[in-house]
Chains A and B, each alone.
Chain A
C-alpha cells in the first residue's frame, strides 16, 4: 500500500498553513505518539501506538489499538473506513482520506490544530488580586454597612419622633404615653451602661435625649422627679450662678455607677468657700482624711420647774477629733446603768446575762433602733406591782396622777374598812382619813422618789394650777436621731458586735453618751482611695438632695401638686358616683 501523507500544520499565532507531503509504503502504517511510529503524532493524549492504517479490499481502514479509540463527530469508534471521506480525530490531529494520485493508492490529509498551552501552573491564579474582591468594592461595602447599620437606620426612626416642648412638664404616674422604643441599633449610640436606677429607660433614649444636639435638660429629669429637693440654698451660693445647676452635671447616667461619685461632691466641697464664702462646712477631700468628727445633738439644761422640762438641744462636736468613744454626758432623764444590765447582776429570771438585743431591736425600715418601751422592754423584770393586804396590784406606767390616786384610794378604803365607817365619830373619822392620806402621800413619795419609779426615773414634785404639789416624772430623752446630717443604718452593720462601737459595758450612767466617734467608722470606711474599704463615698451617708430644702424646680413642684389635687378630685368623683 502506497500512501501519500499530506501534513497541514497551522503555525501558532498566524494564519499561515505549512504543507508537507510524504510517501509511505507499507502494509500496515502505525500511528501514535512514539517516535518509532510511521506517523508520529506529538500529543500526550495520543497513545504510544494509537492506531494502524491498513488496506482491506481496496478500502483504507484506520483501526484503533488504543482504549481511547477514534473520534468521528464526538463518537468514538474502534475502526473507521477512511475511504468514505470521513474526518477522524486522534488527539489534536485529524485524518481525512482522498482518492489516490501520483502513484499512491491513497492520499491522507493529516491536519494538526495548534497546540493549546496545556501547562496548568501558568494558568492558575497567582496574584492575590485575582482571588480577592476589589478593595474599592470592599471599602464601599464596609463604609455603607457602618453608615446604614449605625446611623441611617436608627436615625430614620429617631427623627420621626414627637418631642415634648422644652418647658416644665410632669409625667403622669411616670408613664410615658408616647413611649417610642429605641430602634434596635439606637442602643449602639450609648456612651456607656446606664445607671441601675434608670435601667428601665435603657431602651428609651428619647426619654432623656429629647432634641438633637441638645444636652439632656433638667426638664427631662424633673418630668419624673418633680418634687426633688434642692441640694443647697441658691441665695447663699451666689457664685454658683443664677440658674439651677444641670442635674446631669452631678448625675452621670452613662457611667454605669449607681450614684454621683465622691469626685462630683468634691468639685465644690473641697473648697466650699469659693462658691459660698459664709459656709459653715469644713473643706473635705475624703472621709478617711479630713471629715470632721460627728456633731451630736446633746441635751443640756436643768429641770427646775415644769417649764424647763423641755431641754435645750445643743450641737456638740465629739472631742477630741478621732476619739474612739466620746467622753460625753448629757441630761438623760433616766437612771440606767448599761453596765449593770449587761455585765453584773442584771438578769432576767431564768435566762443568761442580758444581751443588747434583748431590748434594742432595729425598727422596721432598718435604719434606727426602735424606741424603748417600758411595758415591752423593761416590765419583764421591773414590775410595777404594789403588794398591799396580800393582794398584788399593778400600777399604771407613765400616769403619775393615776398612781397617786390609786394609792390614795387604797389607803382610804383600807382605813375606812378597819375603823368601820358608821361606828366612828366625826372626829375619829377625820383622823382616820388624815392618817390614811398621810400614809398614801408617804407611799407615793417613796414610790416616785426611791423604790419604784425612782429606780429608773428622776421625778419632782411640781405644783399644779391649784397650787397642789404633784409628782411629775422627767421625760426620757431616748430614741432620737443622733446624726443630724448623715444617714446611719443598723441593718448593714448587724454582723458587728454592738459594743464594738457603743461602749455600753463600761457605762454606769444613763447620761453617758454612747455614740462612737468618727475613728470607729474609719476602721472599716477607709476612704475612696483605699481599695479594701467599706463604702465611704459622700452619698453613702449624706443625701445629695436635702430633705426640707426648696424643690429644685418650683415650677415642676407646682405642676406635680396641682396634678395630685386633680387626681384626688377625680378619685373622689368616682367614689361619689358609686
Chain B
C-alpha cells in the first residue's frame, strides 16, 4: 500500500461503511408499508435523516482536513472516514428515494449527491494511481541532476532554459533561413495554456515539433556549409530533447490538473447539495 492510498486501508471506516449499507438494505427490505417503500415511511425518514447528517458531517470533514494547523487526530483517518461514509451514502440515499424520481427539488438533491459522490470517487481514483505515474513520468526524463536539492520538475525546467540558451547561441552561427523555426521553438513553445490544453496534455501544434519538421526540410534542401551543417545537427538534437521534455511536462501538467480538477465539481456541488438538502427537508414538510 502506497503512502497516497493508505487512507483506503483503514479497516474501521471500511467496515463502518459496509455496516451502514447492510443495515440500510436490511431495514428497507424488512419494512413493507402499505403505500410502498418511499422517503415518507418510518424507515424512509430514518434513512433520509441519517443520509442528511452524513452529508453535513462529511462536508465538515472536508473543511477540517484542509485546515492543517487545527486538525486534531490522524488526518489519514479523517480522509478514510470521508471516503467510506461517502460511499455508503450511495446506498442509504438511494433507498431513501424508494426509487421514485421526478422533475423536482427532491430528485435534484439526490442527483447532486450522486454527482458529488461520483466526483469524489474520481478524486479517490486519481489519488490512488496518479502520484506514482507522475513521479515515474518526471524521473524517466532526468538525464543529469545539476543540483541535488532540485526536484525532478525543477531540473527539467532548468534543462529547458538551458536548451533555449543553446538554441539561441547556435543561431548566432546560422543564417537567417533557419532563424524563424528555431526562434519559434524558443519563443512559442507552450506547456499548458487553456483548460483543454492542460487537461488533455496534448502536444498538438507544439512549436518545437513544428521547428523540427521545418528544419529537417531545410537541411534536406541543402545549401549549408559543413560547419553550418554540424551546427544544425546540434540544433536538431537540442530541439528533439526540448520536444521530449515539453511532452513530459505537458503530461505532468495534466496529472497535476487531474489531481485537482474534480474539486471544481466536488466543492461547489457539495455547497449546492447542502442548500438543496435543507430546502428538500423544509419543502417536504412545507407541503406535507
Residues of A within 8 A of B (CB): 33-35, 40, 42, 44-45, 47-48, 66, 118-122, 124-129, 131-132, 135, 138-143, 145-147, 150-151, 187-193, 205, 209, 212-216, 252, 255, 261, 263-264, 266-267
Contacts and interface: CB of A to CB of B under 8 A. Distances in A.
A214 B288 contact: yes
A129 B271 CA distance: 19
A252 to B, nearest CB: 5
Contacts of A119: 160-161, 164, 186-187, 189
A337 to B, nearest CB: 49
B106 interface: yes
A151 B282 CA distance: 10
Classify chain B: how many residues form its interface, as a range: 35 or more
Contact of A188 (B108, B175, B189, B198): B108
A44 B175 contact: no
Given A143-B268, A189-B283, A264-B34, 18 more contacts: A33-B172, A48-B174, A118-B186, A119-B161, A124-B190, A125-B193, A127-B192, A131-B194, A131-B198, A138-B268, A142-B271, A146-B272, A147-B275, A190-B102, A191-B106, A209-B287, A213-B285, A263-B36
Contacts of B282: 151
Nearest to A210: B287
Given A119-B187, A138-B267, A151-B279, A192 B102 contact: yes
Interface of B: 33-36, 39-40, 100, 102-106, 108, 157, 160-161, 164, 168, 171-176, 179, 182-183, 186-195, 197-199, 207, 246, 249, 253, 256-257, 260-261, 263-264, 267-272, 274-276, 279, 282-288
B276 A146 contact: yes
B119 to A, nearest CB: 12
Given A119-B160, A145-B272, A209-B287, A128 B261 contact: yes
A184 B174 CA distance: 72
B104 A189 contact: yes
A121 B172 contact: no
A138 B106 contact: no
Contacts of A47: 176, 179
Contacts of A126: 191-192, 198, 253, 256
**Chain A contact surface mostly:** loop
Contact of A120 (B105, B171, B190, B269): B190
| Interchain residue pairs A-B with the least CB separation, the first 8 | A263-B34, A126-B192, A139-B271, A142-B272, A138-B268, A128-B257, A209-B287, A124-B190
B115 to A, nearest CB: 11
Contacts of A118: 186-187
A44 B198 contact: no
Nearest to B271: A139
A140 B195 CA distance: 22
Contacts of A138: 264, 267-268
28 contacts: A42-B168, A121-B189, A122-B160, A124-B197, A126-B198, A127-B257, A128-B195, A135-B263, A138-B264, A139-B268, A141-B268, A142-B269, A143-B274, A146-B108, A146-B279, A147-B275, A147-B279, A151-B279, A187-B104, A188-B104, A191-B104, A191-B106, A191-B284, A192-B102, A193-B102, A212-B286, A214-B288, A263-B35
B274 A150 contact: no
B172 A35 contact: yes
Nearest to B197: A124
A124 B193 contact: yes
Contacts of A40: 172
A33 B275 contact: no
A140 B186 CA distance: 42
Nearest to B252: A126
A114 to B, nearest CB: 15
A44 B267 contact: no
A491 B103 CA distance: 38
A148 B275 CA distance: 10
A255 B38 CA distance: 10
B186 to A, nearest CB: 6
Nearest to B182: A44
B191 A124 contact: yes
Most buried by B among A121, A126, A213: A121
Contact of B171 (A33, A128, A129, A140): A33
A121 B246 contact: yes
A44 B175 CA distance: 11
Contacts of B106: 191
Given A127-B256, A212-B286, A255 B193 contact: no
Nearest to A215: B288
B160 to A, nearest CB: 6
Given A141-B268, A188-B103, A150 B34 contact: no
Contacts of A121: 160, 189-191, 246, 249
A146 B160 CA distance: 48
B102 A191 contact: yes
A437 B285 CA distance: 89
Contact of B286 (A120, A213, A266): A213
A118 B184 CA distance: 10
Contacts of A120: 187-190, 207
Contact of B104 (A45, A141, A190): A190
B106 to A, nearest CB: 6
A128 B256 contact: yes
A261 B173 contact: no
Contacts of B187: 44, 118-120
B198 A264 contact: no
Contacts of B271: 139-140, 142-143
Contacts of B190: 120-121, 124
Contacts of A143: 268, 271-272, 274-275
A121 B174 CA distance: 24
Contacts of A150: 105, 108, 276, 279
B167 to A, nearest CB: 9
Contacts of A189: 104-105, 283, 286-287
B272 A128 contact: no
B287 A139 contact: no
B283 A151 contact: yes
